[in-house]
Chains A and B, each alone.
Chain A
């Protein structure tokens, strides 16, 4: 354990193109691109499914099925298949992002359609009763109400992608997985364990950032933490735990 700590605190490991900052940056970059791509696919699709109720069967089974795909196997297959299509650095970058995107779609899709689907029917009816159109109901009522679940879907996806982005290193890309694979090859256990610690820490930080972001974007009316009465409560009143 001391050796792991020594590896993590060794200044030499924090410098250069294969230092910890660069590898962490690469790792976050792979994660961010995959999450962005997955969101572009899964959020509109999930909102549509949740709003219309159409394609629900497909969405449920798609999310279940996609989760069963082994990422590492898919990565090697994608590298071999796409190798003839995309060249240069993209020859490995595109397959890796494809695999991570496929990994991120199910939780985001599930969060989006379940979030919209589970919006209180009374709120939806009230909105329609006020004369809102379908689109207005979606954007002004359903999406804000669904934000907690959409956000938790995103966070769940982020966590999975951060943990899985380590496999990019197995096809000679960078990221924190480099330390795991290079450490194994060099029989450098402190490097391997240090890399694993960094992945775990990064996952923790990403999830906590997601939690903080969720706190900011989700309407206070939905969290139960606050409301009209909140402002007038006595200063030392106990706050209900959530």
Chain B
């Protein structure tokens, strides 16, 4: 082989490695810049779906109105990515959901948790939460994961609840985020709780446009959508009931870094949590995902309507 060929090949190898490193570097920058420890503004994080970002904007807007300097850092990724950021202080506050957060912490600490109702889940969450975070009172507003199918699929197999999938699941394909491969509230839980073992699992996204597209287009038969997804009523989809509460109560709850906590912060966020309802969530998400409004504008109008701005 000529040296030129070898050099071209090595350059290619380096280019790929470089891209990989660059990608890693970027995500680090996003999480590390402007940490809250240095007395800068309080940083409210949002995960990679619209509702989380809207809630982050609502929190930040309410805090700013109350005189606490706050800014947002959105679209961060999955819980496995952003909770470490809360720990290292690059994020101070995160809109969370009681059930999934409890399960996440419980898995880390090795505690067993069993509650499925809102209060029980919340109490367990407080017990398993590590000392670097503080869980504030939860809102009645709730957004649960669901296994959702089209009306046609529901009719064909007479599906009302996830349990009805058990005899037919081996013929079906489920779509969901990559975390579902390994998480309890995913393939493992479906199998253990309902005996539902899908024939195939396709990684789509966490209740986003790719899952919806795949479901409407027939690439998957069932998909992970959130119950506040405005497309469920709009596209005549059926979110299967979850009688055994695989997906436990998922009330919206502010998760704050211990060092960033203050009584004023809690008081302000309590007002938000009290005012927020599940119907509000469906409506707010619809305005962002369907009407393509800006999450911040949508959050501001909600704050105004509820006298929190």
A residues whose Cβ falls under 8 Å from a Cβ of B: 17, 79-80, 83, 87-89, 91-92, 155, 159, 163, 169, 171-172, 178, 181-188, 193, 196, 199-200, 203-204, 207-208, 211, 241-242
CB of A79 within 8 A of CB of B13, answer no
Interface presence of B2 (CB below 8 A): yes
B residues whose Cβ falls under 8 Å from a Cβ of A: 1-5, 8-9, 12-13, 15-17, 19-20, 77-78, 80-81, 175, 177-179, 181-182, 200, 202-205, 209-210, 213-214, 217-219
Starting from the known contacts A92-B219, A193-B20, A207-B8, 19 additional A-B residue pairs (CB-CB under 8 Å) come to A83-B213, A89-B219, A92-B214, A163-B15, A171-B210, A172-B203, A178-B203, A182-B178, A182-B203, A184-B77, A184-B81, A186-B181, A186-B182, A187-B81, A199-B16, A200-B16, A200-B20, A204-B9, A208-B9
CB of A242 within 8 A of CB of B81, answer no
Taking the closest CB of chain A, its distance from the CB of B24, in whole angstroms, is 9
CB of A208 within 8 A of CB of B20, answer no
CB of A242 within 8 A of CB of B2, answer yes
Given known contacts A163-B15, A207-B12, A208-B9, is B217 in contact with A185 (CB within 8 Å)? Answer: no
Query: Cα distance A160–B113 when bound, in Å?
Result: 48
B204 — which chain A residues lie within 8 A by C-beta?
A: 172
Choose among B77, B178, B214, B219 the residue with the greatest number of A CB atoms under 10 Å from its CB. B178
Query: Cα distance A184–B79 when bound, in Å?
Result: 11
Q: Please pick, from B13, B177, B200, B218, the residue contacting A87 in the complex, using a CB distance under 8 A.
A: B218
CB of B1 within 8 A of CB of A91, answer no
Residue of A nearest to B213 (CB): A83
Choose among A87, A172, A207 the residue with the greatest number of B CB atoms under 10 Å from its CB. A172
CB of B13 within 8 A of CB of A200, answer yes
B181 — which chain A residues lie within 8 A by C-beta?
A: 182, 186
CB of B219 within 8 A of CB of A187, answer no
A188 — which chain B residues lie within 8 A by C-beta?
A: 182
CB of B200 within 8 A of CB of A17, answer yes
Query: Cα distance A200–B203 when bound, in Å?
Result: 23
Query: Cα distance A207–B5 when bound, in Å?
Result: 8
Across chains A and B, the number of contacting residue pairs, with CB separation under 8 Å, is 93
A242 — which chain B residues lie within 8 A by C-beta?
A: 2, 4
Given known contacts A88-B219, A91-B217, is B80 in contact with A187 (CB within 8 Å)? Answer: yes
Query: Cα distance A225–B78 when bound, in Å?
Result: 55
Residue of A nearest to B217 (CB): A91
B203 — which chain A residues lie within 8 A by C-beta?
A: 169, 172, 178, 181-182, 185
Query: Cα distance A182–B213 when bound, in Å?
Result: 19
B77 — which chain A residues lie within 8 A by C-beta?
A: 184-185
CB of B80 within 8 A of CB of A208, answer no
CB of B3 within 8 A of CB of A241, answer yes
Residue of B nearest to A76 (CB): B209
Residue of A nearest to B5 (CB): A211
Query: Cα distance A193–B214 when bound, in Å?
Result: 28
B5 — which chain A residues lie within 8 A by C-beta?
A: 207-208, 211
Taking the closest CB of chain B, its distance from the CB of A1, in whole angstroms, is 13
8 contacts between A and B (CB under 8 A): A80-B209, A92-B213, A169-B203, A185-B80, A186-B80, A200-B17, A203-B12, A241-B3
Residue of B nearest to A158 (CB): B12
Query: Cα distance A193–B219 when bound, in Å?
Result: 29
A187 — which chain B residues lie within 8 A by C-beta?
A: 78, 80-81
Query: Cα distance A155–B4 when bound, in Å?
Result: 13
CB of B12 within 8 A of CB of A196, answer no
Instruction: Please list the 9 inter-chain residue pairs (A to B) with the smallest Cβ-Cβ separation, ordered nearest first.
Output: A185-B178, A187-B80, A182-B178, A200-B16, A196-B20, A211-B5, A172-B204, A91-B217, A207-B9
Query: Cα distance A87–B214 when bound, in Å?
Result: 9
Q: Please pick, from A17, A88, A204, the residue contacting B218 in the complex, using a CB distance under 8 A.
A: A88
Query: Cα distance A242–B7 when bound, in Å?
Result: 13
CB of A185 within 8 A of CB of B179, answer yes
Query: Cα distance A208–B1 when bound, in Å?
Result: 9
Residue of A nearest to B27 (CB): A184
A182 — which chain B residues lie within 8 A by C-beta?
A: 178, 181, 203
Query: Cα distance A207–B202 when bound, in Å?
Result: 31
B175 — which chain A residues lie within 8 A by C-beta?
A: 172
Residue of A nearest to B180 (CB): A185
